Structure 1
Amino acid sequence: MRTALTLLFLLALGAMPGALLPQRSLNAPKVDDYIADHGWWGRLLDRMQFFDVYASFWFSAVYVLLFVSLVGCLLPRTWEYFRQMRAKPVLTPRNLSRMPHHASADTTATPQAVVERARRRLRGWRAVTAEEPGGVRTISAERGYLRETGNLVFHFSLLGLLVAFALGKMFGYEGQVIVQADGGQFCNSGVYNYDTFRPGLRVDGTQLNQFCVQVDDFEANYLHSGQAESFHADLRYQSGADLETDTWRPYPLQVNSPLRTAGDRVYLLGHGYTPLFTVTFPNGETRTGSTQWRPVNQVTLASEGATKFDPPNVPDAEQRRRAQLAITGLLAPTAVFRGELLDSAFPAANDPAVAIDVYRGDLGTDSGRGQSIFSIDPKMVQDGKLEKVARQNLKQGEELTLDDGTVIRFDGVRDWVSLQVSHDPTQVWVLVFAVLVILGLGVSLRIKRRRVWVRATPQEDGRTVVEVGGLARTDQAGYGEEFTGLARDLGVTGDLLAERDPRADKEES
C-alpha cells in the first residue's frame, strides 16, 4: 500500500505539467511559440515529452506501475478480508482493565442473565459467548466489517477507473471541425472530414460511427464587457435508420450541452466569422468566396485569414496559376479605426469591416505541398511568384478596383461554429467507477472497526462482577461515547479508565 500511495502521488505530480504547460495535442501552435520563447529550456522540455505529458513514456510507466501495485496490494487484502469474514471474534482477554476503554461494576444478576442481556444489547454485532472456569461467562463482539468493504470497493473502483481510462484511450477518438452556420453540413464518415483528428491507439479511422449534422443558424449573446454570455446553434442531425430515410431531427446545441448520437458526443466549442467577398473579373464573370478566418483576439474576435480565387475560363494551367487571387488581412466584427489602422471594439458583428491585402500570382496550391487555409505561402511571395497589388480598408458593401479592372466587394460576414466530436466507449464505466470510488471512500472513513468484551464473574456472596472492555481497531475517535452508552445499558456505571497506547492494547489482546 505504501508503494501504491507513492505511485499515486507521482501520478498526480506528473499530471501537473499537463495542466501548467501547453500540450501539443490541444494547441500545437502554442507549444511551438513556447519552445521558441524559452530557447534551450523549451527544447529540453520537448525532448522530455513535457508537451505530451499523457502520452509520455514516464507518465505511462508510472501509470502501469500503479496498476501493478494496486493489483499486488488488493489480492492479498481481499483474501485476508474473506478470512476475517469467516472467522469468529477473538476471545475475551484475561485483563480487560488494560483495554483503552474499560468499565466495571457488580450486580445481583447471574452471569447467565448478564450475558443474555449483553447479547440483546449487541444485536447487529458479530458475537460469540464462552465459558471459563469457575462459572465465568464471557461474550466477545465485533462490528465495522463494512469499513474494510468500503476500503476494498474504493481500491477496486480506482483500479477499474484506471482500466476504463486506458481502454478509452485505446478505442476512443476525438476530432474538431469548423462548419458554416448557414446550412453547412458535416458527416462522421471518415477522418478526412475533420480539420484535426486524434485517434485512439486501436482506431484507424475506417469504422467511425455514422451520423451527420447540419448547422442552420447560430446566435451569440455578449455582456457589455464583450465577454461571451451564451452560444446557441440550431442543429439538425441524422443517425442510424434516419440516414436511410433522410430524416433530420432538430437539436439546440449549446456549450456544455452536447448532442449525443450514435455513441458519440458533439460539443459546441466556439465560433468565429467568415468574410464574404465577391470578385468581378474583367470579363464580367463573378466568384464569391467564403472561407472562415480564425480569431486572433478572443475578446474582440478580430480575425485573420485568406480567401483565395481561381480566375474563370482560363484553360491553360500555367496562365491560370499566374492569375490567381488571394485576399488576406484583418476582419473586425465591430470596426474601430485608430488613424488608418483597423481594430475591433466588440465581438458581435455590429459593424464589420476588413483591412485587406490583395495578392495576384501563383498561390502554390498546385505544388503538392500542404497549405493552411488561413494564410498564403510566404515562399511564393519571396520567390516573386505572388505579388501584392492592392491594400485597402473596406466596410460592408464597399468595393476595391484592381489595376486590371477586377472589382472586389466586401459583402459582410457569416458565422461559423467549431464542433468537437468525442467517442469514448468507456465513459459510462468511468462514471460508475468514479461513483463507487466516492461511496467506498465515504464508507471506509465513516465506519469504525471496533470490538467489545463482557466478562461476568460470580462472587462468593452471590453477586456478579461485570467488566466491559472496548477497543477500536483502527481509530478510537468517536468510540468513547458509544462505549459509554453501551456500558450504561449493561448496568455498568463504573469509572472509565484513561486511554492507553493502542499498540500495547493490541499486543495484550
Structure 2
Amino acid sequence: MRTALVLLFILALAAIPGALLPQRSLNESNVNEYIATNGRIAEIYDQLMLFDVFESPWFAAIYVLLMISLVGCIIPRSIDHWRAFRTPPTRAPKYLHRLPLNTSGVVDKPFDEVQAASRRNLRKWRVNEYDAADDRAGAFSLSAERGFSRELANLIFHIAIVALLITMAAGRMVYYEGQRIVVTNSQAPMAVPVEQSTEFCNTSTSNFDSFRAGPLFDGTGLTPFCFITHNFHADYLPNGQAEMFTSDISYAVGEDILSDPETWEDYQLQVNHPLRVAGDRVYLQGHGFAPQFTVTFPNGEERTQMMQWEPTDPTFFLSSGAIRFDPPAGMYPDLYERRQNQIALQGLFAPTAQWDGENNELLTSAFPEMRDPAVAIDIYRGDAGLDTGRAQSIWELDSSLVHTGQLQRVERVNLEQGESVTLDDGTEITFDGAAEFANFQISRDPFQIWVLVSAVIMLGSLVGSLMIRRRRIWIRLRPADDGKSTHVEMGGLARTDRAGWGAEFDEIARDILELEDPDEVEEDSLVDEDIIHHQSKG
C-alpha cells in the first residue's frame, strides 16, 4: 500500500506538465507556437515529451506500475478479509470493566429471559456464543461484531480504481474522434452565394477535417450515419457573451441513409446536449465565420470562393484567415506564368465592424453577431503554392513564399460587404459577405459507460468505507443464586473511530439492563417541575 501511495503521488506530479503546458492532442498549433516562442527550453520539453504527457511511455509506465501495485494490495487483503469473515467473533476478555465502554448491573429477570433479550438486541450483528467452559471468566457470554463491510467497501474501492484505469486505457486503445466544419449558409445574403455542402456522413475518415483514433482502431469500424445541418443560431447577452449555440439537424443511421432526407429524424443540437446515435456522440463545439470573395480577372472570368476563418477573439469573433485563387487556364497557357499570377488574400474579418486608430482604418469587432461585416486584407500576387503538392494551412499563407518573394503584396485594403478593389492589372476583388459555420465533433468510446460504472462504484464504496464503523460488543451473563435475577456485564470496543459508537452501546445496554433513557427522565422531571410551578402560582 505504501508503494501504491508513492506511485499515486508520482502520477499526480507527472500530470502537472499536462495541465500547465499545451498538449498536441488538444491543440498542436499552440504547441508549435510555444516552441517557436520559448526556444531551447521548449525543445528540451519536447524531448521529454512534456507536450504529449498523457501519451508518453513514462506516464503510461507510472500508471501501469500503480495498477500492478494496487493488484498486489488487493489480492492478499482480499484473502485476509475472507479468512477474517469466516472467523467467528473472539471470546470476551476476562475483565470487561477495563474496556473503553463498559457497564454492569442486575436485572430482575431469570437468566433465560435476559439471554433472549441479549440475542434480540444483537440480531443484526455477527454473534458467537460461549458457554461457561469456554469463557475466560467462567460464565455464559455473547461475542458480537458489526461493521465488517467496512473492509469490504475498502477493497471494492481499490478494485474500482483498477477497473477505472483498465477501462480508461482500453477506451483510449479503440476510440475515435473527428472534427468537421460545416458552413450553414444562414447569414446575410451575398451577391453571388456559393453553394456549400451541409451534409456529413460518418462513413470514411477522409470525410473529417481532422481525425484521431486509438492504436487498435484501423478506420474501418466507423458507425454509418449521416446528418444534414439546416441552420445555426447563437444567442448572445447584451455584453456579447455567448449564451447558447443551437443547430437544427436531420440524421439517419445505417440503411436509412438511402431513404429520402425529408424522412430523416430531426434533432436540435446544443452545447452539452449531444446527439447520441448508435454508440457515437455528435457534439456542437463552436462556430465561426466563412467570408466569401469574388475575383474578376482582366478577361472577365470570375472565381468565387468561401473559406472559414479562425476566430482569434473568442468574445467578439474577430477572425483571421487566408484564401487562394488560381487564374483561369485560358489566360496563361504557360503553366509557369499561370503560377506566377495566382491571387492570395490574408487578413481579418469582423462580423460587426468597428473602425479605430488615427484614421479609423484599424478593424476590430464590436459584437460577435454578424450585423455589419467587413474585412481588412492584404492582397498578394505570385506563386501561392496551390500546385506544389504540399499541404498548407487554411488559416494563413506560407510565410516562406512571402519571405522569398514568390508571393508579393500588391494591395492592402479595408472592404465592407459588397465593396470592391481593382488591382493594377485590372483584376477586381469583391467582398461578397460571409456565412456562419458550425464545428461538429464526432466521438466514440465503447468503454465510456464502464468508466462511469467504475467511477460510481468507486465513489459509493469510498463513502461506505468512511461511514461504516467496525465495533465489537461482549455480554457476560451470570444467574443469581435465587434464580429470579441475572447479573449482567457488558463491554464495547471500537475497531476504528468511536464516532457515534457510545450512543449505540448505551442504547443496547439500557435495553438489556432495563434502564430508563436519561433524556426521557429529564423531560419528565421538567414536566413535574412545571406542574409544581403552576400549582404554586395557583
Structure 1 length-normalised TM: 0.92
Q: Which residue, 318, 322, 325 being the options, matches 2:340?
A: 322
**8 A contact 1:466–1:492 mirrored in 2:** no
Whether the aligned pair in 2 keeps the contact of 1:354 and 1:393 (CA below 8 Å) is yes
- What's the counterpart of residue 447 of structure 2? 426
In structure 1, what residue type is equivalent to 2:464?
V
Match of 1:200 among 187, 211, 214: 214
State the match for 1:99 in structure 2.
99
Q: Secondary structure at the match of 1:74?
A: helix
Q: Please list every run of 5 or more consecutive structure 1 residues that lacks an aligned counterpart in the other structure.
A: 495-509
Alignment of 1:77-116 (within 5 A): 77-116=77-116
Letter in 2 for 1:478: G
Letter in 2 for 1:428: I
Structure 1 residue 213 displacement after superposition:
2.4
Tell me the SS of whatever aligns to 2:371.
coil
Q: 1:282 offset after TM fit, Å?
A: 2.2
Alignment-derived partner of residue 306 in structure 1: 322
* Alpha-carbon distance in 1 for matches of 2:167, 2:65: 16
Query: Do 1:104 and 1:493's aligned partners in 2 also have CA atoms closer than 8 Å?
Result: no
| Structure 2: distance between partners of 1:292 and 1:430 | 36
For residues 25-64 of structure 1, the aligned pairs below 5 Å read 25-64=25-64
**Among 288, 300, 318, the residue aligned to 1:284:** 300
1:491 maps to which residue? 513
Secondary structure at 1:490 match in 2 = helix
Q: Give the secondary-structure state (helix, strand or coil) at the position aligned to 1:19.
A: helix
Secondary structure of the 1:156 match is helix
Alignment of 1:474-489 (within 5 A): 474-489=496-511
Shift of 1:245: 2.6
> Residue type of the partner of 1:466?
V
Deviations 1:153-210 (A, max 9, x none): 2221111111110001101122222221135222222333222222112122233222
TM-score, length-scaled by structure 2 = 0.87
Q: Post-superposition shift, 1:459?
A: 4.7
Distance 2:34 2:399 in 1: 22
The one of 339, 346, 355 aligned to 1:337 = 355
Distance 2:450 2:398 in 1: 47
Q: Distance in 1 between matches of 2:335 and 2:280?
A: 43
CA distance in 2, matches of 1:318, 1:34: 37
Equivalent AA in structure 2 for residue 337 of structure 1: W
Corresponding residue for residue 66 of structure 2: 66
Cα deviation, 1:107-156, whole Å, max 9, x if unaligned, reads: 34343332221001111111121211497211111111222222222221
Distance 1:238 1:404 in 2: 51
Q: 1:36-94 deviations in whole A, cap 9, x for unaligned?
A: 33343333322222221111222212200111011111112222222233222112221
Q: Give the SS at the match of 1:474.
A: coil
| Aligned-partner Cα distance in 1 for 2:41–2:105 | 75
8 Å contact from structure 1 (residues 103, 492) kept in 2: no
1:115, 1:138 within 8 Å by CA — same for their partners in 2?
no
* Partner of residue 194, structure 2: none
Residue 505 of structure 1 aligns with which residue?
none
Following the alignment from structure 2 to structure 1, what is the Cα–Cα distance between the partners of residues 16 and 446? 26
Shift of 1:460: 4.5
The residue number in structure 2 matching 1:147 is: 150
| Mapped partners of 2:493, 2:38: distance in 1 | 60
Provide the C-alpha distance between the structure 1 equivalents of 2:405 and 2:5, rounded to a whole number of angstroms.
Answer: 63
Counterpart of 1:498 in structure 2 is none
Task: Tell me the distance in 1 between the aligned counterparts of 2:177 and 2:237.
Answer: 31
Between stretches 419-428 and 358-367, larger displacement belongs to 358-367
Question: In structure 1, how many angstroms separate the alpha carbons of the residues matched to 2:488 and 2:421?
Answer: 106
Summarize deviations over 1:364-409 as a string: whole Å, max 9, x none.
1211222112222222223333222222111011111122222211
Q: Which residue in 2 is equivalent to 1:185? A: 199
C-alpha distance in 1 between matches for 2:148 and 2:496: 11
Which residue of structure 2 aligns with residue 497 of structure 1? none
1:407-486 correspondence runs (5 A) = 407-460=428-481, 463-486=485-508
- 1: CA distance, partners of 2:220 / 2:334: 38
In structure 2, runs of 5+ residues without a counterpart are 186-196, 517-538
Task: Please tell me whether residue 360 in structure 1 is matched to residue 378 in structure 2.
Answer: no
- CA shift in 2, pair 1:33/1:492, >3 Å: farther
C-alpha distance in 2, partners of 1:118/1:23? Answer: 65
Identity of aligned residues (%): 51
Supply the RMSD in Å over aligned alpha carbons: 2.0
Secondary structure at 1:88 match in 2: coil
| 1:297 lines up with 2:313 in the alignment | yes
SS in 1 for 2:232: strand
CA contact (8 A) 1:321 1:361 kept: yes
Residue 410 of structure 1: how far off its partner (Å): 0.9
